[in-house]
């Protein structure tokens, strides 16, 4: 579990570093004179680099190993976070956000490959639950600690501090031993090709579901802190407390879900029922939360937010258990590369388009929340209708 713990810690750092922009949005926009559209462009720049580097990251992981690729990515995203504290305008910040996206793009492809190659199937759910806890508690800690630091010391000092601390993870990671499986190491002894992976209906069902889930998640990550401050009158400290608490509940639900998935499958539940049901429930909760958020009283909105975060957290391990089960060690990195590339397109179009909608509505968030809610229908189609039975793919006959 040391290996899984270190990977979870890397994802924790990953999400702390990427979430700092949203935590400091009001200060950064005021300091650099950014509109909501320009702020959305910063998010789109990050996710453009993040999404389109997924498949290269997966391919590189198969060639030189997940351990090395994850280390290179962590180095890049830590340095970009540190340098953000020195930027003086939109262009410099945009370049560093793209640099951050390139570095962070390796996280899920490498961890999925390492889990598929090193973790017994009976413990795969728990491993993904621990990983999920890491990347979901990251925004909680980042928003709380970052919000408090920014309130007292400003956003520049906070970015420099977080970037410097992030580099320390490389020390224990350099000493861990990992079994690396190459693409040719499948049951048939023949290499799994990218064409075989792309031909799987399951890949595209999972990609569509991932797309819809991330549209909601990234919209919340990118705009909820700013929405609570600018539309609901929260102070920086109040925003940090509410948002970090919601993210913490999300992370705890993911940790519990990983354990529960293993137990359910060991007791004879089918992987399809075990993994698809929480994914569908998360989209139903997301639909209700997004449609209600801009219109209901704030107490009801916060309650619905917590319901959504619990359901989302409980579904989180399934996102990567599915490709790990179906693709296996020899193809998991590239499968996740394609799935995560498609799943992160909302960061490219959704985050930017949300900023455009907010500016077009004279600062109103209603249309952006409405669109985020309706996207959940695509998630239900992907996970429930398109994704077939969850079982290992026989790559010899695929």
- C-alpha 385/C-alpha 231 separation (Å) is 38
- C-alpha 216/C-alpha 31 separation (Å) is 28
Determine the average pLDDT of the residues in 214-235. 87
Of 92, 100, 101, the C-alpha closest to 50 is 101
**Which residue has tokens 């340095």?**
79
**pLDDT of 34:** 86
User: What pLDDT digit, counting tens, does each position of 24-48 carry?
Assistant: 888 889 899 888 888 888 888 888 8
Determine the average pLDDT of the residues in 45-59. 87
Determine the average pLDDT of the residues in 229-246. 86
Determine the average pLDDT of the residues in 17-29. 84
Is the pLDDT score of 2 beyond 80? yes
Q: Name the band, by pLDDT with cuts 50, 70 and 90, for residue 239.
A: confident
User: What pLDDT digit, counting tens, does each position of 275-305 carry?
Assistant: 999 999 999 999 999 999 888 899 999 999 9
**pLDDT of 147:** 84
67 Cβ contact partners less than 8 Å away, ≥ 6 residues apart:
110, 114, 173, 176, 178, 180
Alpha helices in the chain (DSSP H): 2-23, 25-32, 36-52, 54-64, 66-84, 90-104, 107-118, 124-153, 155-166, 170-173, 194-198, 201-230, 236-266, 271-292, 298-327, 332-343, 345, 351-360, 366-374, 376-380
Determine the average pLDDT of the residues in 349-375. 86
- C-alpha 310/C-alpha 246 separation (Å) is 8
**pLDDT of 183:** 59
Determine the average pLDDT of the residues in 355-381. 90
**pLDDT of 300:** 92
Q: In degrees to the nearest 10, what's the CA dihedral of 317, 79, 97, 111? A: -20
Q: Are 134 and 313 in contact (CB under 8 A)?
A: no
Pair of tokens at residue 380? 């239900």
**Which residue has tokens 């598929």?**
116
Q: Name the band, by pLDDT with cuts 50, 70 and 90, for residue 189.
A: very low
**pLDDT of 218:** 85
User: What pLDDT digit, counting tens, does each position of 165-179 carry?
Assistant: 999 999 999 998 888
- C-alpha 199/C-alpha 197 separation (Å) is 5
**Which residue has tokens 């000092």?**
157
Is the pLDDT score of 190 beyond 60? no
**pLDDT of 260:** 95
- C-alpha 75/C-alpha 84 separation (Å) is 14
**pLDDT of 308:** 96
- C-alpha 127/C-alpha 215 separation (Å) is 25
Pair of tokens at residue 42? 């910063």
Determine the average pLDDT of the residues in 198-225. 92
Higher pLDDT residue, 208 or 138?
208
Pair of tokens at residue 252? 């705890």
Separation of first and last alpha carbons in the chain: 33
Q: What are phi and psi of 88, to 5 degrees?
A: -120, 0
- C-alpha 105/C-alpha 97 separation (Å) is 12
Q: Name the band, by pLDDT with cuts 50, 70 and 90, for residue 398.
A: low
User: What pLDDT digit, counting tens, does each position of 303-322 carry?
Assistant: 999 999 999 999 999 999 99
Determine the average pLDDT of the residues in 331-359. 86
| Domain-wise residue ranges, the chain | 2-174+194-386
Determine the average pLDDT of the residues in 320-349. 88
Of 283, 363, 278, the C-alpha closest to 321 is 278
CATH superfamily ID and name for 2-174+194-386? MFS general substrate transporter like domains (1.20.1250.20)
- C-alpha 272/C-alpha 257 separation (Å) is 15
Cα–Cα distances (Å) from 28 to 7, 95, 167, 211, 349, in that order, read 30, 15, 24, 28, 22
Average pLDDT, the chain: 89
Of 395, 387, 391, the C-alpha closest to 330 is 395
Is the pLDDT score of 54 beyond 50? yes
């Amino acid at each position: 579990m040391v290996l899984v713990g270190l990977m979870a810690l890397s994802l924790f750092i990953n999400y702390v570093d990427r979430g700092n922009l949203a935590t400091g949005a009001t200060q950064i926009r005021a300091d650099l004179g950014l509109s909501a559209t320009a702020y959305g462009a910063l998010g789109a720049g990050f996710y453009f680099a993040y999404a389109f580097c997924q498949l290269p990251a997966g391919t590189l992981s198969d060639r030189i190993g997940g351990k090395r690729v994850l280390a290179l990515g962590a180095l890049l995203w830590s340095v970009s976070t540190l340098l953000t504290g020195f930027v003086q305008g939109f262009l410099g910040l945009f370049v560093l956000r793209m640099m951050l996206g390139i570095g962070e793009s390796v996280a899920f492809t490498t961890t999925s490959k390492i889990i598929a190659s090193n973790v017994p199937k009976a413990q795969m759910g728990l491993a993904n639950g621990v990983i999920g806890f890491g990347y979901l508690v990251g925004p909680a800690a980042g928003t709380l600690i970052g919000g408090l630091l920014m309130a007292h010391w400003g956003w520049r000092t906070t970015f420099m501090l977080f970037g410097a601390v992030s580099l320390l993870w490389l020390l224990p990671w350099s000493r861990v031993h990992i079994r690396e499986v190459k693409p040719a190491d499948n049951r048939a002894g023949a290499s799994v090709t990218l064409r075989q992976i792309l031909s799987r209906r399951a890949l595209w069902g999972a990609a569509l579901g991932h797309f819809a889930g991330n549209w909601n998640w990234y919209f919340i990550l990118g705009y909820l802190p700013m929405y609570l401050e600018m539309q609901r009158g929260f102070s920086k400290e109040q925003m940090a407390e509410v948002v970090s608490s919601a993210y913490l509940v999300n992370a705890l639900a993911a940790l519990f879900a990983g354990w529960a998935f293993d137990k359910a499958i060991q007791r004879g539940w089918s992987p399809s029922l075990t993994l698809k049901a929480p994914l569908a429930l998360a989209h139903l909760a997301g639909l209700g939360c997004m449609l209600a958020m801009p219109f209901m009283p704030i107490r009801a909105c916060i309650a619905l937010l917590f319901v959504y975060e619990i359901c989302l957290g409980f579904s989180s391990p399934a996102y990567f258990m599915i490709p790990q089960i179906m693709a296996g060690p020899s193809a998991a990195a590239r499968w996740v590369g394609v799935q995560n590339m498609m799943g992160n397109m909302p960061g490219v179009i959704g985050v930017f388009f949300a900023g455009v909608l907010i500016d077009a509505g004279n600062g109103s968030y209603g249309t952006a929340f409405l669109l985020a809610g309706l996207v959940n229908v695509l998630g239900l189609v992907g996970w429930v209708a398109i994704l077939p039975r969850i079982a290992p793919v026989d790559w010899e006959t695929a």
